[in-house]
Structure 1
Amino acid sequence: MLKSFKALRPKPSKADDVIAPPYDVINSKEAFELAKGRPNSFLHVSKPEIDLEGVIAYNDHKVYEKGKESLEQMIKDGVLIEDSEDMLYLYEMADNDIRQLGIAAVGSVDAYEQELIKRHEFTKPDKELDRVNNISSLNAQTGPVLLTYKDNGELSTLLEAVAVRETPIYDVKAIDGITHRIYQVNQSDEQEKILSLVNSMDALYIADGHHRSAAARAVKHARQMENSNHTGQESYNYFLTVSFPESQMNILDYNRLIKNSLRLTMDEVLRKLDEHFEVTSVEDAFKPSEKNHFGMYTNHQWYSLKLRHSQTIDNPVEALDVSMLHNLILEPVFGIGDERTDPNIDFVGGSRGMEGLEFRVDSEEMDFAFSLYPTPIEALIDVANAGMIMPPKSTWFEPKLLDGLLSHRID
């Protein structure tokens, strides 16, 4: 499932200049501001539209060409270097409240297709095509796919031993205050042991990065068709990953914003909600602390919505709070259909806080906000093991892996 690789990475003295937030958590305007005065920022590769004049679509061919030009220039200038031999890396993220220590490696596209690396989300064709074009243009994968695995005491002990012994090749702090460290696993026997323990597991699970992994598969098949001497060992057969044990995964709530397209009165909304929920107005922003409990905000007022009757649901998807919200509120009350395409719904990750929900409603951009209890990592694994698909925007993982620390060049 996983193997070592030759990482394309910053020259150690340049790491602080290079690191950047993931391309998909900031918009072009934010990227432009972050990259000001930072010619070596990886944002020039991951958000290359910031270096083009005028308003330009994210998927314009000029954007991909500019990203390729920026990456090649950073390599030429020695800002980015590539290891000369395959290596395994450890990736650590830490602050006062959280610490994650995992494995940076490349994952097998074959294992992905055989569902040994399991997915739990559908992809959007336009976003997948964007990643295909990005990888094809750069000849590199620059955004790691976040994986998780069932806890393994022997593996965790080994990773800790390496991290204690080795000096990190990078020790940098992101703009959100999270410290990111990268270690090389220099001893070949430890590399082999780590990979043996991981590859003997029943499965790995994609936590975040479904479009990147799907795009890697598409690129692999395209290059295989073009290569009459294909062996299966080429670098395009693998995609960049970082894997953490399930107990270290930190999932935040992924909340919903709704437009009242049916123009329901508040009395009508409350009457419909009363069928399934105990509805109570509350003074402060309501952030649920348990399953089957939701918050609702509208007209400067928060409400607690508690499911009247607990339900035993065997289907792991239908048992999710995001499914219950859709099935009992969003669709029957507000007429929300497919959440991936309905124009009357939007999503806000928990890192934005309840204030982010209040702002969007108070500005009259949206009419109702719903806060949810975070989806447990165990639920994600149950859904993936069942071969099922979670509703869109079910999980928001924090902290985020950085762009620019580790990339994977492909043939």
Structure 2
Amino acid sequence: MAIIKAFKAIRPAKDKAPFLASRSYEDYTVKELNAILTYNPFSFLHIINPGFKFDKKVSGGERLKLIRNRYLEFLEDEILIRDTQPSFYLYKIEKEDFSCCGLFCGTSVEDYKNNVIKKHEDTIKHRENLFAVYLKNVSFNAEPVLLTYPDNPTIGEIIGEVKNRDPEYRFSTTDKATHTLWTITREEDISKLQDEFSKIDSLYIADGHHRSASSMIFADKSKKGNPGHTGMEPYNYFMSYLIPESEIKIFEFNRLVKDLNGLTKEEFLIELDTYFKIEKKGNALFKPLEKHQFSMYLDGDFYALQLRKQIFKFTDALSRLDTQILYKTILEPILGISDLRKDKRIKYGFGKNNIFNMKDEIDKGNFMVGFGMVPVSIKELKDIADAGLVMPPKSTYIEPKIRSGLTIYEL
């Protein structure tokens, strides 16, 4: 039983929405960031990068205090407005090759604790605690957790009806995406959506594992510090963006490795022969076509590596995952990479030009060998989460990537 909650969002004034909503801070180059902060006074980046106003780099408690100050200034100047009634927010993103439509809502910390909201990645305690401190000091959350749910005809019908109404915002951004947002304020619609989601057994985290875990830490600490705790306080929920499984788009990460761990090319290929049938493809670009097939680029040539299934034994959902197979058959035993997060010899690539970039990096001599695979499927993601397992780092690159500041959840 999944619980979703309508909330009174803080969101951009109607004429400011195209200028305020921003990509994730890490997505910008230094040059882009400086240009936006210099020429766009309405960008949400001013809130999360408050030192720009003072031409000073700030960190720690000073930064958090200034983030809170900038946020309050945006409210006072009516760049941001506070909704007066609890709502759901329907948000659609349309690109040339991608479209999705989902709900901004509050989701339950208890559902996360009780595994109604399921995860497939490990989190790092230090990062969890950092964001929990951030939430405590700034008292808002502007970056939703991306959750997915099984396609549901009734939810689809309600969403379809809302999309026929006039939107609150519709604007385009420089990445040629169109953004449309509707507010869902009718009690009938809110009740129907809550009722339908209450029939769903599980929601799955697609992106935002650390934000979810941090929200739980923040909620637990807030509960302990509140003698009058009722369970209805805002801190008992965290903001999420819910979309159906059919609208999630999963891309693969390639693996690039700097050396062959002391092996010659010939020795390395002989080692691979234990678990793989190897077919040399030459210098023509080769991408794998199916599960348990890998592309490899080495010394100017592509190779197809086909897993020998009679040799490699599947024991659970994780063992069937291509990123795990690559780790257990090549990266760890042959190339000596045991820590996929910290080892400096490995790098991960993603994106539309993934295979071209991999080849280019190796041709330049920055890396010696690269591996590609087909993307993880939504079924594999769910199987891993249902089994209580976790994927290796950088197993999935998932769209949509949600802009910050379109809806803000106050804590």
Which interval holds the TM-score relative to the shorter structure? over 0.9
Q: Determine if contact 2:89/2:182 at 8 Å carries over to the other structure.
A: yes
Deviation track 1:371-410 (CA, whole Å, cap 9, x = no partner) reads: 2210001111111111221211211112311111111011
Measure the CA separation in 2 of the matches of 1:257 and 1:50: 36
Q: Is the contact made by 1:31 and 1:47 (CA closer than 8 Å) also made in structure 2?
A: no
Bigger drift between 134-143 and 210-219 goes to 134-143
Go from structure 1 to structure 2 and tell me whether the alpha carbon gap of 1:285 and 1:26 turns closer, same or farther (over 3 Å shift).
farther
Instruction: Tell me how far apart the structure 2 counterparts of residues 45 and 358 of structure 1 sit (CA, whole Å).
Output: 39
Shift in Å, 1:354? 2.1
Shift of 1:169: 1.1
| Range 352-361 or range 336-345, more displaced | 352-361
Partner of 2:146: 146
Partner of 2:257: 258
Q: 2-side partners of 1:66 and 1:140: how far apart?
A: 13
Cα distance between partner residues in 2 of 1:327 and 1:51: 49
Say yes or no: does 1:339 pair with 2:307. Answer: no
Counterpart position of 2:320: 319
Match of 2:192 in 1: 193
Counterpart in the other structure of 1:63 = 63
- Higher mean alpha-carbon deviation, 304-313 vs 87-96, is at 304-313
- CA drift at 1:308: 3.5
SS in 2 for 1:160: helix
In the other structure, the counterpart of 2:294 is 294
Distance 1:83 1:327 in 2: 51
3-state SS of 2:25 partner: coil
Aligned to 1:376: 377
Q: 1:216 to 1:153 in 2, by over 3 A?
A: same
What's 2:404 paired with? 403
Paired residue for 1:14, among 13, 16, 24? 16
Which segment drifts farther, 229-238 or 358-367?
358-367
* Cα deviation code 1:98-118 (max 9, x no counterpart): 221211101110111011111
Distance 1:348 1:232, change over 3 A: same
TM-score (norm 2): 0.92
1:315 and 1:155 map into 2 onto residues whose CA distance is 33
- Report the equivalent of 2:386: 385
- For 1:92 and 1:378, locate their aligned partners in 2 and report how far apart those are by CA, in whole Å: 24
Tell which deviates more after alignment, 352-361 or 189-198.
352-361
Root-mean-square deviation (CA), in Å?
2.2
Task: Please give the alpha-carbon distance, in whole angstroms, between the structure 2 residues aligned to 1:74 and 1:54.
Answer: 20
Contact 1:28 1:49 in 2 (8 A): no
SS of equivalent to 1:193: helix
Number of the residue aligned with 1:2? 4
Residue 174 of structure 1 corresponds to 173
2-structure distance, mates of 1:296, 1:76? 56
Counterparts of residues 76-155 of structure 1 (less than 5 Å)? 76-155=76-155
Alpha-carbon distance between aligned partners in 2 of 1:235 and 1:14, rounded to the nearest angstrom: 26
Look up the equivalent residue of 1:249 and give its one-letter code: I
CA shift, 1:46, in A, is 3.5
Displacement after TM superposition at 1:55 (Å): 6.5
In structure 2, relative to structure 1, the CA distance for the partners of 1:72 and 1:300 (3 Å cut) is farther
Query: Which sits farther off after the overlay, 178-187 or 310-319?
Result: 310-319
Distance 1:276 1:71, change over 3 A: same
Preserved CA contact (<8 Å) 1:31 1:50: no
Structure 1 letter corresponding to 2:328:
N
Shift of 1:352: 5.2
What's the offset of the Cα at 1:61? 3.3
Which secondary structure does the structure 2 equivalent of 1:90 belong to?
strand
State the distance in 2 between where 1:33 and 1:301 align.
42
1:350 alignment partner, SS class: coil
* Rounded Cα–Cα distance in structure 2 between residues aligned with 1:364 and 1:373: 25
Which has the larger displacement, 206-215 or 131-140? Answer: 131-140
CA shift digits 1:33-59 (9 cap, x unpaired): 443411211122344566675777xx6
* Mapped contact 2:21–2:403 kept (Cα < 8 A): yes
Distance 1:203-1:66 versus aligned 2 partners, 3 A rule: same
Aligned counterparts of 1:344 and 1:157: Cα–Cα separation in 2 = 50
Corresponding residue to 2:44 among 31, 42, 53: 42
Q: Distance in 1 between matches of 2:266 and 2:224?
A: 61
Relative to structure 1, the CA distance from residue 146 to residue 9 in structure 2 (aligned partners, 3 Å threshold; closer, same or farther) is same
In structure 2, runs of 5+ residues without a counterpart are none
* TM-score normalised over the length of structure 1: 0.92
Give the drift of 1:80. 0.8
Paired residue secondary structure (2:388)? coil
Q: How does 1:195-214 map to 2 (within 5 A)?
A: 195-214=194-213
Q: What is the rounded CA distance, in whole Å, between the counterparts of 2:315 and 2:153 in structure 1? A: 30
Letter in structure 2 aligned against 1:189: E
> Share of identical aligned residues, percent?
32
User: What are the residue-to-residue correspondences of 1:19-34 with 2, within 5 Å?
Assistant: 19-26=21-28, 30-34=32-36
SS where residue 348 of structure 2 aligns? strand
What amino acid does structure 2 have at the position aligned with 1:185? Answer: I
Are 2:135 and 1:156 aligned?
no
Counterpart for residue 281 of structure 1:
281
Distance in 2 between the 1:295 and 1:54 partners? Answer: 47
Q: Are residues 181 and 343 of structure 1, via their aligned partners in 2, closer, same or farther at CA, if it must alter by over 3 Å?
A: same
Deviation per residue, 1:173-217 (Å, 9 max, x gap): 233222221111132111110111012210111110001111111
Change (3 A) 1:52 1:343: farther
Alpha-carbon distance, 1:287 to partner: 2.4
**Which stretch shifts more, 14-23 or 268-277?**
268-277
Question: Which structure 1 segments of 5+ residues have no match?
Answer: none
In the TM superposition, 1:198-237 aligns within 5 A as: 198-237=197-236
Shift of 1:65: 3.0
Distance 2:51 2:365 in 1: 30
Q: 1: CA distance between counterparts of 2:212 and 2:229?
A: 20
Amino acid at match of 2:128: E
> Residue 281 of structure 1 aligns to a residue in which SS?
strand
